[in-house]
Amino acid sequence: MAKIRISNDWWTAPAEGDNGNLILVTGRRDMNNVIETGLYRYRVEITWQYDGDEKGLPIFADSKVMEEVTDALNDSFDHDPVAIMTGIFTGDGQRNWVFYTRSLHIFQRKFNQVMEPFPTLPLAFEAEEDPDWEEYHEMCLCEVADGED
């Protein structure tokens, strides 16, 4: 089986939460070749609830840890693509990382390994089958096309 090419091209766009707070949506582009394999059937969303500033964004110390965690997760899954981070939502008092994975069990094990050097974080997990990547396609609607900004 040929190795799957996973894009490292990301976009970021503003969105609005239910209460009007800013949410920054960051998504990974060009995932069609991965979607077409049918291998990544499970969507996992990891949520970190935080006490944000007056706009609902994380304070600097939290945002620094969030970026370190994001980098560590991407590095790990880039080397062993059992899962692919496809989206990051930040704002309104929470950070959400979204992954598509082949195996929930292996994802959990690798995630725990990556998180070992970090302090214990207040994380919540949700997982569901999403073989057609419906949530990913919905997120991509937030992308601002060139010339729209």
List the domain boundaries for the chain: 39-139
pTM for this prediction: 0.93
User: How many other C-beta atoms lie within 10 A of the C-beta of residue 21?
Assistant: 16
> What pLDDT digit, counting tens, does each position of 34-75 carry?
999 999 999 999 999 999 898 899 999 999 999 999 999 999
Report pLDDT for 91: 96
Report pLDDT for 46: 98
> What pLDDT digit, counting tens, does each position of 70-125 carry?
999 999 999 999 999 999 999 999 999 999 999 999 999 999 999 999 999 999 99
CATH of region 39-139, choose from 3.30.200.20, 3.65.10.10, 3.20.20.30, 3.30.70.100: 3.30.70.100
Greater confidence (86 vs 19) lies with 86
Q: Classify 137 as helix, strand or coil.
A: helix
Report pLDDT for 2: 54
Residue by residue, DSSP assigns 2-68 as PPPP----EEEEEEE-TTS-EEEEEEE---HHHHTT----EEEEEEEE----TTSPPPHHHHHHHHH
- Residue 101, strand partner residues: 42, 83
pLDDT exceeds 60 at position 147: no
Measuring CA to CA, how many Å separate 106 from each of 28, 77, 87, 120?
Answer: 22, 11, 20, 20
pLDDT band for position 5 (cuts 50, 70, 90):
confident
Type and span of the H or E element at 100: strand 94-101
Question: How many CA atoms lie within 13 Å of 61's alpha carbon, on the beta-carbon side?
Answer: 4
pLDDT exceeds 60 at position 12: yes
